[in-house]
């Protein structure tokens, strides 16, 4: 095909330009203005939390959440290992120490069993973490009831990295609403985008107000520029927030389409021995940001890496599952708590993410499916 089929590209709804134009007409193009205020309001009302803060990235949101949890130099933070580095890097920004936690096979997310092992181990050492940072991978919520209960038992703050899971649900509640802090990403490949951006949400008014203070360079109340704390330039621009307002209007449509894409992949490929899709936990609803599956090479007759390579040769973008942080050179010195086997490593070694953008046509979707069948059939 002449046109490359992408993994997940931006998909505009139509009203984004209206809100951008409003910002230009009002001359509010900096990190202030109606778009920022309304975008924050729309997200917090959708997620059903009390407070929200629009920021330049999801990474910024995680960094501020860690600060508000009191994480400082030498502190420990437990973190999902199977994730992108944007989850864990802010731990190092604070000169803190990550401890990585394995995945379970029911969700591919943080294992409550491994988390309990880690909490008990570090409790005995007298070094309980300041926070647990749990990721909802590819839109699927982690086992939040079990994880939240463990955090409460050991009196540890919970940060929910919902960067990939806006629009997902866990037992009737929106993803991002379970932790002391929730974070979202609006990067260009996410289910909705602001080009680049993120948001911090919480029910803690005082801490969100302090995060706002830090995100605007921590300027003290003074006529002159005065600073008593280290601040950051983390706020989202009013123009980008305008894109977000338009995108929020079509969020449910985007979730429906991505779930439809997943269902089509599942119908056409799940019957093949050795292909297993990321599960959807009972009483949850994944936004299916990306359709992800694992390949058993002995049964399918091809390694996941070879399937990805051949899809690339056919102008189809496919990716491995995230390489776990405990396998990254940057993090090799830090502790890792596995379930029994190393589930996160196995998911990485055998996992494939398929094109899942809501703007994929049925023709493109069928092309991906037929190409996969052809590749497997040739083995």
Q: What is the per-residue pLDDT across 20-36, written as a single tens digit (0 to 9) for each?
A: 999 999 998 887 899 99
**pLDDT band for position 349 (50/70/90)?**
very high
337: helix, coil or strand? strand
**pLDDT band for position 379 (50/70/90)?**
low
| 10-19 mean pLDDT | 96
H helices present in the chain, as ranges: 16-26, 34-47, 58-68, 85-93, 112-124, 144-153, 205-215, 238-248, 251-269, 297-300, 304-313, 343-350, 362-377
Q: What is the DSSP string of 349-375?
A: HHEEEE---TT--HHHHHHHHHHHHHH
Counting runs of H as helices and runs of E as strands, what totals does the chain give? 13, 15
In a domain, 7, yes or no: no
DSSP at 22: H
Q: What is the per-residue pLDDT across 104-123, written as a single tens digit (0 to 9) for each?
A: 999 999 999 999 999 999 99
Q: What is the pLDDT of residue 255?
A: 98
In a domain, 5, yes or no: no
In a domain, 53, yes or no: yes
The answer, yes or no, to whether residue 159 has pLDDT greater than 70, is: yes
User: What angle is formed at CA 299 by the lines to CA 293 and CA 303, rounded to 5 degrees?
Assistant: 60
Q: Same domain for 227 and 303? A: no
Q: What is the pLDDT of residue 12?
A: 97
Q: Same domain for 174 and 261? A: no
Q: What is the pLDDT of residue 2?
A: 66
Q: Same domain for 274 and 140? A: no
DSSP at 288: -
pTM for the whole structure: 0.97
Length of the chain: 379
Last residue of a domain, one of 191, 215, 248: 248
Residue 108 falls in which region: left (phi positive, over 0), alpha (psi -120 to 50) or beta: left
Last residue of a domain, one of 224, 248, 272: 248
Residues 6+ apart with CB under 8 A from 362: none
Beta bridge partners of 158: 132
Q: Same domain for 61 and 193? A: yes
Q: What is the pLDDT of residue 31?
A: 78
In the chain, % helix, strand, coil (3-state, to 5) comes to 40, 15, 40
Q: Same domain for 266 and 195? A: no
DSSP at 223: S
Q: Same domain for 67 and 199? A: yes
Q: Same domain for 44 and 135? A: yes
Q: Same domain for 173 and 115? A: yes
Give me the number of domains the chain comprises.
2
In a domain, 315, yes or no: yes
Q: Same domain for 235 and 277? A: no
Residues 6+ apart with CB under 8 A from 113: 104, 339
CATH number for the domain that contains residue 367: 3.90.1150.10
Q: Same domain for 228 and 299? A: no
| 128-132 mean pLDDT | 98
Q: Same domain for 278 and 228? A: no
Q: What is the CA radius of gyration of the chain?
A: 21
In a domain, 192, yes or no: yes
Last residue of a domain, one of 229, 248, 267: 248
What tokens were used for 92? 């190092």
In a domain, 94, yes or no: yes
- What residue numbers bound the domain in which 160 lies? 16-248
Residue 25's Cβ-count burial label (10 Å; 0-12, 13-18, 19+) is: exposed
Q: What is the pLDDT of residue 32?
A: 85
Q: What is the pLDDT of residue 128?
A: 98
What tokens were used for 208? 């969100």
Q: Report the Cα 71 to chain-centroid distance in Å.
A: 21
The closest alpha carbon to 165, from 245, 251, 244, belongs to 251
What tokens were used for 193? 């985008």
Q: Report the Cα 75 to chain-centroid distance in Å.
A: 23
What tokens were used for 238? 């009013």
Q: What is the pLDDT of residue 187?
A: 96
192: helix, coil or strand? coil
In a domain, 6, yes or no: no
CATH number for the domain that contains residue 230: 3.40.640.10
In a domain, 8, yes or no: no
Q: What is the mean pLDDT of the chain?
A: 97
Q: What is the pLDDT of residue 310?
A: 97
Q: What is the per-residue pLDDT across 182-239, written as a single tens digit (0 to 9) for each?
A: 999 999 999 999 999 999 999 999 999 999 999 999 999 888 999 999 999 999 999 9
The answer, yes or no, to whether residue 132 has pLDDT greater than 90, is: yes
Q: Same domain for 43 and 185? A: yes
């Amino acid at each position: 095909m002449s046109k490359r089929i992408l993994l997940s590209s931006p998909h505009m709804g139509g009203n984004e330009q209206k809100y951008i134009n409003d910002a230009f007409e009002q001359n509010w193009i900096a990190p202030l203005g109606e778009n920022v205020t309304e975008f924050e309001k729309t997200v917090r009302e959708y997620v059903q939390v009390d407070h929200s803060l629009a920021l330049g990235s999801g990474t910024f949101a995680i960094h501020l959440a860690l600060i508000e949890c009191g994480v400082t130099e030498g502190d420990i933070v437990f973190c999902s290992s199977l994730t992108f580095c944007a989850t864990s890097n802010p731990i190092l920004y604070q000169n803190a120490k990550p401890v990585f936690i394995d995945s379970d096979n029911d969700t591919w997310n943080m294992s409550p069993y491994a988390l309990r092992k880690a909490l008990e181990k570090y409790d005995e050492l007298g070094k309980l973490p300041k926070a647990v940072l749990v990721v909802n991978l590819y839109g699927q919520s982690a086992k939040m009831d079990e994880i939240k209960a463990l955090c409460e038992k050991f009196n540890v703050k919970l940060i929910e990295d919902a960067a990939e899971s806006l629009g997902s649900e866990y037992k009737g509640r929106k993803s991002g609403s379970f932790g002391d802090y929730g974070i979202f990403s609006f990067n260009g490949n996410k289910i909705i985008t602001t080009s680049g951006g993120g948001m911090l949400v919480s029910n803690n008014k005082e801490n969100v107000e302090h995060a706002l203070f830090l995100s605007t360079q921590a300027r003290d109340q003074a006529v002159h520029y005065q600073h008593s704390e280290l601040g950051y330039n983390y706020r989202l621009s009013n123009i980008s927030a305008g894109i977000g307002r338009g995108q929020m209007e079509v969020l449910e449509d985007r979730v429906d389409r991505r779930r439809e894409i997943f269902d089509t992949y599942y119908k056409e490929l799940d019957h093949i021995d050795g292909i297993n899709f990321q599960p959807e936990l009972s009483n949850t609803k994944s936004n299916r940001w990306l359709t992800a599956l694992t390949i058993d090479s002995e049964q399918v007759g091809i390694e996941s890496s070879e399937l990805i390579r051949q899809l690339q040769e056919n102008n189809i973008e496919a990716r491995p599952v995230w390489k776990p942080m405990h396998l990254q050179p940057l993090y090799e010195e830090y502790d890792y708590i596995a379930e029994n086997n190393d589930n996160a490593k196995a998911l990485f070694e055998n996992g494939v993410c398929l094109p899942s953008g809501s703007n994929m046509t049925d023709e493109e979707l069928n092309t991906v499916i037929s190409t996969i069948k052809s590749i497997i059939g040739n083995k």
